[in-house]
Amino acid sequence: MRFLHTSDWHLGRLFHGVHLTDDQAHVLDQVVCLAAESRLDAVIVAGDVFDRAVPPPDAVSLLDDVLSRLVLQARVPVVLVAGNHDSGQRLAFGARLLAGQGLHVVGTLAGAWEPILFSDAAGPVALSPLPFAEPIVVRQELGRDGLGDHDAAMAALVDELEARGVGAATRRTILVAHTLVVGAQQSDSERPLTVSGGGGVQAARFAPFAYVALGHLHRAQAIGRESLRYSGSLLKYSFSEAAQTKSASIVEMGSTGDCRVETIPLVPRRDVRCLEGSLPEILAGPRLGESREDYLKITVRDEGPILDLAGKVRQVYPNVLAVERPPLVAPAGHASVGGDLGGRSDEELFAAFFTEVTGRQLGAEELAVYHEAVASLRRLEREVET
């Protein structure tokens, strides 16, 4: 069996105030083409289909278009579960009707207990779709007490699946889950699953399954074994992901449940990059192979004042989303001037302050600027007094 593992589409996402719908449509075109050309038996979307519970209309339209092209035109079944950003009940509207067309949407645990069955020349494959659920929801669904965290809740869910005989007829089992596995690398763009920032699940909980298609974390990665895997998000949704390569995973499952994974890079409409340097270096423009249209965070290292810094930078890079200048702080090990400042002149106090924040002595040129500023203030004071 061959299937495509994706997750964390986050349709309707805003990135520093910029709507990403066109960028998402660009990369989803690649997903549709990949599904149509790769002889796939299924496409899996492991949660966070939308970026929020009530998505904007253009995000809903984009999902409708992509799923129609996958299911009706390419004739590839799609399995889609709700993530922590989604409203599971809204997402699963019409799920029983859609299943007959090959679109399997599981938004709540009530729809998770009946496996979705596939088959190939080697026999059946049982896929169990687990949408994101808080521990309290799991307790209510299973009628069990004592499930105080996500790890205990996941253990109970897996126990329930096994008790219901999922995988009893085959070793070729797939679990789709939207969760945080302990030991996985996180990014800045993921919403914590709990207020305390925890919510991790032990990797051992997933041992019964031949392949685990994970969603929630935006970095593509395997945890412990190649078949316990996050596909990662379709796009970079924070500058902390600038060095990542976004991809989808084509998984080929053998006759005994062994899995071979191929990662297929996804090419964005605009990349997300971080640039750092002096203002002249930044204004020199992109290097070979880089685009001036990318979404950028720029850190300018110049110390002096710069008038309309953002405007200057946007003349070269129109899609700059953040411009930073590192704060002037004393270097490590630099001693504070402190002490009794009484009796010092204004110039001496300014020189001490300059040294405190920059770590170096006040220069002649800077001292001249100080003198001019003080003289200007005193002229103004005289004019006010008269």
Q: Which of 31-35, 140-144, 369-373, 376-380 has the lowest mean pLDDT?
A: 376-380
More confident residue, 19 or 372: 19
Task: Kindly calculate the radius of gyration of the chain based on its CA atoms and give it in whole angstroms.
Answer: 28
Q: Quick one: pLDDT at residue 193?
A: 74
Q: Residue range 154-175: average pLDDT?
A: 90
Instruction: Give the chain's mean pLDDT.
Output: 90
* Band of pLDDT at residue 330, cut at 50, 70 and 90: very low
pLDDT over 60 at 384, yes or no? no
Those residues whose C-beta lies under 8 Å from the C-beta of residue 138, and which sit 6 or more positions away, are 109, 144, 147, 153, 156, 157
SS3 67: helix
Q: State pLDDT tens for residues 175-218.
A: 999 999 999 998 888 877 765 556 799 999 999 999 999 999 99
Question: What are the pLDDT digits (tens) for 265-286?
Answer: 999 999 999 999 999 999 999 8
Q: What is the mean pLDDT of residues 90-114?
A: 94
Taking the CA of residue 91 as centre, how many other CA atoms within 13 Å lie in the half-sphere pointing to its CB?
33
Whether the per-residue pLDDT at 376 is higher than 90: the answer is: no
Q: What's the whole-number mean pLDDT along residues 27-48?
A: 95
SS3 state of residue 150: helix
The Cα–Cα gap between 208 and 159 comes to 10
Angle at 355 between CA 351 and CA 360, to 5 degrees: 120
Cβ–Cβ under 8 Å, residues 231 and 46: yes
CB distance 93 to 106 below 8 Å: no
